[in-house]
Each structure stands twice: as C-alpha cells, then as structure tokens.
Amino acid sequence: MKDVTPLTEGWTLRHAAGDTVPAPAEAPAGDIPATVPGCVHTDLLAAGLIEDPFLSRNETAVAWVGRTDWRYDTALGPRDTAHERTDLVLDGLDTVAAVRVGGVPVGNTRNMHRSYRFDITDRLDPAAATPLSVEFTSAYTEAEAVRAQVGERPNAYPEPFQYIRKMACSFGWDWGPTLVTAGMWRPVRLEHWSTARLATVRPLVTVDGPTGRAELRVDVERTATGGGVLTVRARVGDHTASADFDGDGTTLTVEVPDPALWWPRGYGEQPLYDTELELLDATGAVLDRWERRIGFRTVTLDTGADAHGTAFTLAVNAEPVFARGVNWIPDDVFPSRIGPDRYRARLTQAADAGVNLVRVWGGGIYESDDFYDVCDELGLLVWQDFLFACAAYPEEQPLRSEIEAEARENVTRLMPHASLVLWNGNNENLWGFRDWDWEPALDGGSWGEGYYLGLLPRVVAETDPTRPYWAGSPWSGGWDHHPNEPAHGTAHSWDVWNRTDYTDYLDTVPRFVAEFGWQAPPAHATLRRALPGEELLPTSPGMLHHQKAHDGNGKLERGLAHHFAVPPAGPAHFDRWHYLTQLNQARAVATGIEHWRSHWPVCAGTVLWQLNDCWPVTSWAAVDGDARPKPLYFTLRRLYADRLLTVQRRDGRPTVVADNQSAIPWDAAVRLRRMAADGRILAETTVTARAGARSVALATVPGELLPDAGSGKEFLVADAGELRALHFPVRDHAFAYPAPRYDVATVRRGDEPDAVDVVVTARTLLRDLLLQADRLAPTAVADQGPLTLLPGESATIRVRGWDGGGDGDGDGATAAVRAALFMVEPA
C-alpha cells in the first residue's frame, strides 16, 4: 500500500534576494519559522514582523511583501522505504515557484490552481537529510513578464491579474484588499509507492430509471517494473464490482438498484453513498485506494426558447428549482487560513438563511473539497465558475496550456460532489467585450472567447458530461442577443446600484439574476475591531480605506437620499448613518427578490452578490468579514423561506402575492388592514391566495383597502399566519411616522446562561426595529433582524453571547438595550 508522509514540520522562510533582486528594507534578515500550509503574509504576521493588514490602513504598509521573492526551506529525512518510488506532491503552490531537492532543480510551477508531482526517488540521500527548498518569484514579476510577451489586455482593475494563474482577487477588488500572496497554500507530502498508483478516478454518476450507475473511469501510473495485469475493485454503498486490466486505465461500473436520490435543500433529503476504489497487484495486495462520497441525482439546464425569451432553469431529478442563491468569494484573502470548521460555519449560515445555491465566483479559487463536502451534506447546489473574471484573458502560451491543465484537473477533482450542478465559463468577460470598450483596445487580439466557447466546453464534455456547461455570466446563450439581455439566459443587475435606485429592480423580469446587490458597512463591533482608536465617520481615514468600491460612499449616500433624510456629517450622527445604510441594503435586496420571486417560473433564480467577505470592509455581503450577520442576512432568511408573502404591483395596483416554493399547497388566508400612521385601522378584510406546490398565487386587494396613492399617512398590512407584508404608498422621507414610543424588558434565560430575551412592546408604529446586538457585547448575536411592530404588538428578540452586563433583567440591561435599538424615525 502507498505510504504518505506529510511535510508540515521544520519549515523556514527567508527573503530570496539575489544579485538582481536586493532585499527590501522591510524584509527580515535570516530565517523565520514558517507554517505549511500557509503563506508569506501569515508567517510574517505570526513572527510579529508585520502589522495585521486587516486593521486600520496597514494594508498599504505591507505592499512590499507581494513584490518580493521568497524561499521556503526544510529537510527531508533519509530515504527509508522499501517502495520503488518516492514522489514529492504539492497540492497548491502560490504561484511561480522553483522546487529544488538537494540543491538540484526538480520542477517549476506557474499556476496556483493546480497540484504538482515530482519524482524525487534518486534525489533522496539514504543516509542523511536532504534539503528541500521552494523559491517563489513575485507574482508581479511573472505577470508583468507575461504581459510584455503577449501584449496589453484591458481589465476592470489596475492590476495585472489576468496574466497569471493566481487568485485574481488577491490583487484587490472593489470589496477586497491588495495583498498579493506567495507560499504553499495547500498540503505538501511525500508519497512512497510501488508497481502502480491511481493517477485519476473520474466517477460519472447517473440515474437511469430505477438504477443508479457509478461509472468509474480510472487512470493509473506504473513504475518501470510495474507491468502486467492489475485489478480494480470498487464499492458504492453495499454494491461492488471489479475488473482486471493490463494497460494504463480502465472503466468500472457499479450499479445500485433503486438508489435514494440526492435532492437540493428544501426538495428532499441528501443521502450520500460511501464510495471506495482499490488498485490491486497480481497477488491481491492493495497498492492504492481512492475514497469519496457520491450522490445519485440528475441535473439538467433548460435553456429553451419560449414566449418570454430564453429560459435558464435548473432541474434536479426532473424537478425545476427556483434558485435561492448567493455568490461566494474566498472567505479569507489568505485562503490557507480557511479550514473545514470555517467552511461549515459559513455554509451553515447560508443554509439557515434558506439558501439552496452557492455560486463560486470566478475571481477566487476552486475551493477545498471540505467546502463541497459541506454543500453535499446541506443540499446546497454549487454553481462553479472557471477562474476568469472582469478582464480580457490572453489565449497564447504560456497561459493556454496552463488553463487547460487546470480545468481538466479541477473538473476531475470536483466531479464526485453531488452538490456541483453547473460549470460556468467566466464572470462578466463576454459582457465586458461587448460593453466595456474592450474591442478597440484589443485590436483583434485574443481575449478569452476561445476558452469560454471552445476549450472549456470541450473539457467538460470530455471529462464530466453529466453536468451542464454555460459559457459565462451574464450570457444570453449566443451573440444573437446582447450578453446581458435580461430576457435571455443569465443577467447581472448593476446599473441599479451604480446609477439609479433600487426601485428600478421592478422594471424588468430577468430569466435568472446571477448577480445583484447593494452595499452597507459591516457590524459596529467589526468596525471597532478593524479601526482601533479611530473616531468613526463615513469619511474617516480608516472607513474610506475599508471602502474599496469606486465612489462607494457617494452611492451609499445617493441611495439613502431616495428614501431617507441623509444624516448630517459628524460623529454624533454616525450611528444613525450606520443603521440607515444597513437598512437600505436590506430593503434594496428585498425589493429585487420579492419582485423576481413573484414572477416564477419566468424568473428561475436570484443569486445575491454576495454572502461573505474576505476581510472587514464596507461591501455587498450579508455576513461581514468578522462573520457577523448584517441586517441583510436576517432579511434574506425571510426572502428565501419556502413561503414568501409580499405585495407587488400588477396591472398598476398593489396585489397580494403568495409565493410557495414548498411541496405542500398553501391556501393563504391573508388578513388585510388599511392603517393610519397613528395605528388606527381604517378598513379590514380577508382574502385568500391559493398557491399550489412550487407555484405563485395572486389575490386582488379590494379598493377600500388600498391606501391613497400619494398618502403619507396610510399604509397596507398583509398578514398570513406568521408572515407579514407591508405596502407604503410613499417613500420613508414622505411618510408621517410618529415619534417612536415603546417599552423594553429584559429577561435572563434560565436554560441558556449566556442568553437574554429582549421584549419590545410598541406604543406606536415601529418600522424596521433593529437590535444591533454587537453593541451590547462583541460576542452577542440577536436571532432576528429588522421587524415592524404595530401599536400594542410585542416581539421577543433572543440575544446570545451576552449576560446582560451581569444584570440580565435589571435597569442597566434595559438601558443598554435601548442604546442598541434603532428604527425608522420621522424625517
């Protein structure tokens, strides 16, 4: 059996200065301890040699790190194995590296997204330690050299990320810092083996009527003496098969009668079958083993023409799915710090918010198998971008062969995962070619079209024909339509955030909204940690540094001004600005999702930009860089629930919409009340909206229940069970909100020592009441986001991670809660 020796101990890091690359003044002299997996920044940070780049404006002070060459060193023990062969296996090198064993070069790398294997059998000393060094050239040096070779190409950001196969967002983005990493970011090991090893195993999992099939396509590598017949033996659950072969590979099929089908979240269970394949020699001894979990399901993508344009609807096991999605970026700009627990925590947050689809965005990485394992278990569909984003990518060497090898390796690695349902060619590059003035700048040069419409679909068809491929997002399916035409394929909605107001989401019904979003600052406690000692203002130096979007604060202010009185400048008004910008983000996203969901099945999905952040920053995320949920997160939980009640305009008048994405019909008895701002009920009735399984139902609002179109003193309340929808005929700054009055009580939880129940009782209309729990304690989290209470109504908000300041049900706790409560106030 193959033996594996992890190489995690004894590493050191030093600046790799040479005759032409002098050490920068900031570089440490001599060796420092290094962690593998890891990167230069995290090693320097652990050694106390740089300040945390996530805090204040330290990012700029460590820019030199990314423009410096570095070397990692360790020693390999004496070669003490009876195996014929020893390979050095590096699962991820970031990015341009020269690998030497015993001072002798064994290989060079130039792709962060690939693994590498080098035969070092003859390099290891049988009696003494052998030096191993991995020397990294600055990613800037490589990218600039490739740019000089292939010629300039346009992109959306002033960094050369498209000339190197590296995580693009490490060069900075409109939500991310510029921290250009280097290092061994995935595991390193020695593998000792004899006769033959499993090089690749590709499971093509299909369902044909009552039978599930796992077709295991196996490639092997043999030693020089490893000829002859080999055997592969496979098991899927309790079902087995075996085959003999004498070449470099074979195909073995295991049939599973009546398999339990894997379903996305909300559509069924997620059964997974333990799958094992062993490689045996002629004596029956096991040479190598491959183990994964697979799920039986079918996936199709409907892109047929219809009366509304061109569909884009995913179906799992022949069941069309409304995608309740989020875009995923790397959860840390230093991805070696993301482990299984962090993946599980973040993806569980997504699942708890009702998400059923996660799009892995093309400016990041192909995530660890740990990420996809959790998605398999939670029923989160994965849309996987190939790693191209917001730039014209050269199709010449040395990039083209790297891209093909990268694509083949990652398709093979990820295809066992049942959650993976779509391969997508790129992010915004087909759109960019058409609309971002690339064509004149390119002057006929290559820009990536050959990848998205040629190479990548061929790789998917040859390697993983069980899944659909789409050329890009946005993409209308062909050049016959504009790439970002809402009626065809996938659409990105960014004009609303960049130029207009979120009410303009109501103007179109895209077939599938793959990106849209609205910015807001992170939680207050996150800001306090990230900007220590700074007086918080929207325009304070640290706040501006942690706002990476072009004119981001201007867009925030203009977005507020459409709906609220913008708070004056000055520290006394920061808390109000903070609350209103977070609320405006939640309101914007709600406007879009409620509208688009109400048009199912014409619109078949919304994918919020974005779930998460990679550092503390003002951004579009629902969960901030310190893992704290913003108000948007809790709003998303309502928007992505199986049942959504909303009021939408149909034929020019407000209409009740019951969107039922569950499998159980919903006869929604909706209590309608036309109410005055002072809380009086002006009219009341009940209507019924009968929504079948996975369908939408409408109910007309009787004329006497409709508030006057221009009234700032009336509004409509629609209640169905625990669900509530509101309709205000005017914007907030034109509505006559009463001065808010309410009572607060705090009750310590006997069954949860670190939990306090906060009970708020409204004496007036309280619109979008929000308890910012992190103001009570940095560890505190509330179980609810913004909620609206009518006079006389009460709500209980459970706060975990706070002991009530030692006075969980006293006046001190109540005063602290009042200071952390926010709501819409009169203009």
Q: What is the pLDDT of residues 263-272, one digit of tens each?
A: 999 999 999 9
Query: What pLDDT is stored for residue 709 in this prediction?
Result: 87
| 24 confidence band (pLDDT: 50, 70, 90) | confident
Strands of the sheet with 787-789, listed across from one edge: 787-789, 766-771, 821-822
For residue range 376-406, list pLDDT tens digits in order: 999 999 999 999 999 999 999 999 999 999 9
By the 10 Å C-beta count (0-12 exposed, 13-18 middle, 19+ buried), 792 is classed as exposed
Q: Is the pLDDT of residue 452 over 60?
A: yes
* 661 token code pair: 């994405």
Task: Kindly report the average pLDDT of the chain as a whole number.
Answer: 96
pLDDT for 9: 95
- Is the pLDDT at 195 greater than 70, yes or no? yes
pTM of the model: 0.97
d(C-alpha 447, C-alpha 438), whole Å: 9
Q: What is the pLDDT of residues 28-62, one digit of tens each?
A: 889 999 999 999 999 999 999 999 999 999 999 99
Q: Classify residue 44 by burial, with Cβ atoms within 10 Å: 0-12, 13-18, 19+.
A: buried
pLDDT at res. 809? 62
Hey, what domains does the chain have and what are their CATH numbers? 3-191 (2.60.120.260), 195-294 (2.60.40.10), 308-639 (3.20.20.80), 643-734 (2.60.40.10), 742-822 (2.60.40)
Tell me the catalytic residues: 428
Question: For residue range 455-505, what is the model confidence (pLDDT) as tens digits?
Answer: 999 999 999 999 999 999 999 999 999 999 999 999 999 999 999 999 999
Which residues, at least 6 apart from 572, have a Cβ–Cβ distance to it below 8 Å? none
Backbone region of residue 236 per phi and psi (left: phi > 0; alpha: psi in -120 to 50; beta: other values): beta
- pLDDT tens digits, 279-289: 999 999 999 99
Q: What is the DSSP string of 37-56?
A: S--HHHHHHHTTSS--TTST
Residue among 492, 260, 299, 443 at smallest CA distance from 381: 299
- Tokens 């962060």 belong to which residue? 112
Closest CA relative to residue 527, chosen from 624, 611, 612: 624
pLDDT score, position 750: 78
Q: Interhelix angle for 369-378 vs 340-352, to 10°?
A: 30
Distance CA 381, CA 319 (A): 14
